A and B are shown apart, each in its own frame.
Chain A
Amino acid sequence: MNAPSAVLGSRDRSVRRDGIDIRGLLFAGFLLLALLFSLAILTVLVGSQVVQGFPVFAERGIDFLTSDLASNPANAGVAQGIVGTALLVVVVAVLAFPVGIMTALYLEEYAGDTALARFININVRNLAGVPSVVYGILGLAVFVTLLAVLGDGDGKTILSGGLTLAVLVLPLVIITSAEAIRAVPDALREAGFGLGGSRWQVIRQLILPAAAPGILTGTVLALSRAIGETAVLILVGAVLGSFSTNGSLGALLTGPYTALPAIVFDWARKPGPAFQADTSAAIIVLLAITILANAMAVVLRNRYERKW
């Protein structure tokens, strides 16, 4: 009780700020700089392409979007690339979406915690980290060869390209779908089973509708990835340089093809300011599409995000 306040008394009890915290400010400054770096790079990148590519649109307008590839940069356009990219997206969506969801359903709803399920899971995660150029090799060795044997061309078609891209983005679809399915609360499943639903009924009528927004977002992100993917296309033989088809759907599907990113790659290697401008213009188109797709995914996610 008579504790001497000698020790306590000597301590400074003021809570006034002790000067400016230099270290803290510097650190915060460094962090902010890191953030601004990304913003700056993004701005410069988009800005430089717009600056360099806009004159092409100013001069030629829609013509740039509707012309075919040509060796003269003043005539060359991205029409075939747009068509090719669109067709590739369709093939990828048709293949990767169902297989991806089905795999995710199996892993989350049927397989439980067995060794097989864990093995498939590890496998999918590894596949997600394989560089795209290796997928290109797979496409070349398997799909192109297969289609060359089955058809009578060289096998370098939209189909082999689309198959390879589908395989590339499949792990992404699986992982995001599995997350969405896992996020569905168990209470929903219990109620469904409690009413006498079979497993498939509960999945189809309760789990899938509840997980749909997440699954959709994941699919859009995967498609957006496929749209911008170049290395695969190079490996499986998208045409670099110019070509022409008779424009029929059959020719488009079974013959030579190209896609936007392949066009960008090809033109980027050509010397001269004219093709550089064309490249930037093509990049504007490509960026517009990919940013649109990403934005769509974000909007979907925000709009349908449920707070369970």
Chain B
Amino acid sequence: MTTTSSEGPAPAGPDPVLEADTAEPAASVAPAVVRLRDVGLFYGEFRAVKGVSFDVPTHQITSIIGPSGSGKSTLLRSINRMNDLIAGTRMEGEILYHEENLYASYVDPVEVRRRIGMVFQKPNPFPKSIYDNVAFGPRLNGFKGDLDGLVEQSLRRAAIWDEVKDKLKQSGLTLSGGQQQRLCIARAIATDPEVILMDEPCSALDPRATLQIEQLMAEIKERYTIVIVTHNMQQAARASDRTVFLNMAEDRAGYIVEQGETAQIFTNPTHQMTEDYVSGRFG
């Protein structure tokens, strides 16, 4: 099923890729809202990611960890079809959302992104008022109900309502970095997505803001499903329920080395490479 060329650090044994978790993962306890099946991602000729399969269980936080260049962000962006915006990208395999293939020809990426939201690495609020930032998504969808109420609810759920309730008309850019990121989370929540993808959401923030975001994640996972890419292993260990470890093979394509319950990955990993990575011996 996988290629026969040797990849990864060559141990004196079987091919680590074959050894890694490319088979159907054991069914997780919770049902999976998103499932990746043998996903490969290409930028033109270059293969960024290969043979990736894992489930994203509902109402849990799944983290994707791995060294730089292993294709984590690319993988994350394929879930909400953001890669479509870059010319020359191609996908193999399937990404299923409620058992529907997101890349089927009849699927409109706009609909995908309304159900699978995203928070980016560097907070990017619009140069609009705080209110308009949060209201942007619902307005796109033609929301006709109580917009004020929706904005307040989203800001509350993002744990920032108290700080901004008196200045909703101020520009979102006047907030601090951590506040901006929570605003972006509120903005993503306002469209009532099922899944929220977070691409290293704390890497531009200070430790206090980072902690706030992690606490927020723990609170909102009851309502949403979260997939987070992070290169901060302590964060993954603290905050997530399941972990997927992606590494870069010798052909520079990312592949899954191991995946499973976070506790198990960090305290009792199956593969030596995982052990090496989580204990900081490389990456």
Contacts and interface: CB of A to CB of B under 8 A. Distances in A.
Q: Do chains A and B touch in the complex (CB under 8 A)?
A: yes
Interface of A: 112-113, 187-198, 201, 205-206, 210, 306
Interface string B171-190: 00000000000001001100
A205 B85 contact: no
A193 B124 CA distance: 12
B140 A188 contact: no
29 contacts: A113-B87, A188-B126, A188-B127, A189-B85, A190-B85, A190-B120, A191-B125, A191-B184, A192-B126, A192-B136, A193-B82, A193-B85, A194-B113, A194-B120, A194-B188, A195-B113, A195-B114, A195-B136, A195-B140, A196-B110, A196-B111, A196-B112, A196-B113, A196-B114, A197-B140, A201-B140, A205-B136, A206-B126, A210-B127
Contacts of B124: 187-188, 190-191
Given A201-B140, A206-B126, A194 B87 contact: no
A-B complex: 10 closest residue pairs judged by Cβ atoms = A196-B114, A187-B124, A196-B113, A194-B118, A195-B137, A191-B124, A198-B110, A196-B110, A197-B140, A112-B87
A210 B127 CA distance: 8
Given A189-B85, A196-B112, 19 more contacts: A187-B124, A190-B82, A190-B85, A190-B120, A190-B124, A191-B120, A191-B125, A193-B82, A193-B85, A193-B113, A194-B82, A194-B113, A194-B117, A195-B136, A195-B140, A196-B113, A196-B141, A205-B136, A306-B127
B70 interface: no
Interface of B: 80, 82, 85, 87, 110-114, 117-118, 120, 122, 124-127, 136-137, 140-141, 184, 187-188, 191
Nearest to B122: A187
Contacts of B188: 194-195
The interface centre, meaning the residue of A112, A189, A193, A306 with most chain B CB atoms within 10 A of its CB, is A193
A256 B140 CA distance: 50
B140 A196 contact: yes
A205 B140 CA distance: 10
